[in-house]
Amino acid sequence: MNIFGSGVFQGMMVTLKNFLTSYFRKPDEGGIFTVQYPEEREKAIENFRNFPFLVYDGSPEQIRCVACGICERECPPKCIHIEMALDVVGKPARKPTVFDIDYGLCMNCGICEEVCPFDSIFMDHAFEVTAPERQISLVRPKKALLKSNEYFQKIRPTLAAVIDQKRKTAEEKKKAAIQPPATSESK
């Protein structure tokens, strides 16, 4: 029935329904879908990338990075600064002493993750990086970038699983490569 004023009434019923259901419907079914930051957070999807981090296996001394400098060369805004550690004798040890990434320059492209041959640098999900000034405190040192492999598995399970599988097979192949020559030698 198209009586005069029926559209007005229908419109008001729609808003009333919206008002009442906003109190008890879940976000997916037409309720309020606001995520009240900072008390609630949205779960990040796995491939979200924000800022790089360095992976260590077990303890922070067993860092995977060997300070090859490929990510430093490939980084488009040149925000990475690496210095290799020196041995007790003065020879280069395959570990970085200084690994600085400037948060102000980093554009979150993920190229450092793609080019690393040692699976040591990956893109983190953490975006709440703040500093009172940008010259000194926004340059994140190695200490701030080190995160454990367990953390890596938590935030990016599928990629971490693939990387772990790859490293395990590489380990086993290396062990198998060492063993048979030993057995063949012991013959």
Partner 1 sequence: MTKILEFIDSIFVAAKAWILCLLGHFLPAWIVVLVSITISGVVILCLGPVIMMYLTLLERKLIGRIQNRYGPNRVGIWGLLQPIADGIKMFTKEDIVPANADKVIHLLAPIAIVVPALMIFLVVPFGKGMTTVNLNIGLLYFIAVSSITILPIFMGSWASRNKYSLLGGMRTAAQMISYEIPMTLAVVPAIMMSQSLATNAIVLAQAGGHGLNWFIFTPWGIVGFIIFFLCATAECNRPPFDLPEAESELVAGFHTEYSGMKFALFYMAEYMNAFTLCGIAATLFLGGWQGPFLPSWLWFFGKTFILICVMIWFRGTFPRFRVDHLMAFAWKFLLPLTLINILLTALWQFTSNLAAWCGSILVLGISLWTLVKLNRTFVPEKRHYPLES
List of residues contacting partner 1 (CB under 8 A): 4, 8, 11-12, 14-16, 18-19, 22-23, 30-34, 36
Task: Quote the radius of gyration of the chain (alpha carbons, Å).
Answer: 26
Q: How far is the CB of 26 from partner 1 (least distance, A)?
A: 12
Q: Please say whether the beta carbons of 54 and 145 come within 8 A.
A: yes
Nearest residue to 45 via CA among 171, 155, 163, 179: 155
Nearer to partner 1, 23 or 178 (CB): 23
Q: How far is the CB of 138 from partner 1 (least distance, A)?
A: 28
Nearer to partner 1, 32 or 170 (CB): 32
Least separation in angstroms between CB 1 and partner 1: 14
Task: Give one word for 5, left, alpha or beta, with left for phi > 0 and alpha for psi -120 to 50.
Answer: left
Query: Min. distance of Cβ 42 from partner 1 in angstroms?
Result: 15
Nearer to partner 1, 31 or 69 (CB): 31
Distance in Å, CB of 23 to partner 1, minimum: 8
Q: How far apart are CA 79 and CA 183, in angstroms?
A: 49
For partner 1, the closer of residues 8 and 89 by Cβ is: 8
Closer CB to partner 1, 37 or 177, in the complex: 37
Q: Residue length, the chain?
A: 187
Is the peptide bond prior to 132 cis by the omega test (within 30 degrees of 0)?
A: no
Residues 87, 75: contact at Cβ < 8 Å?
no
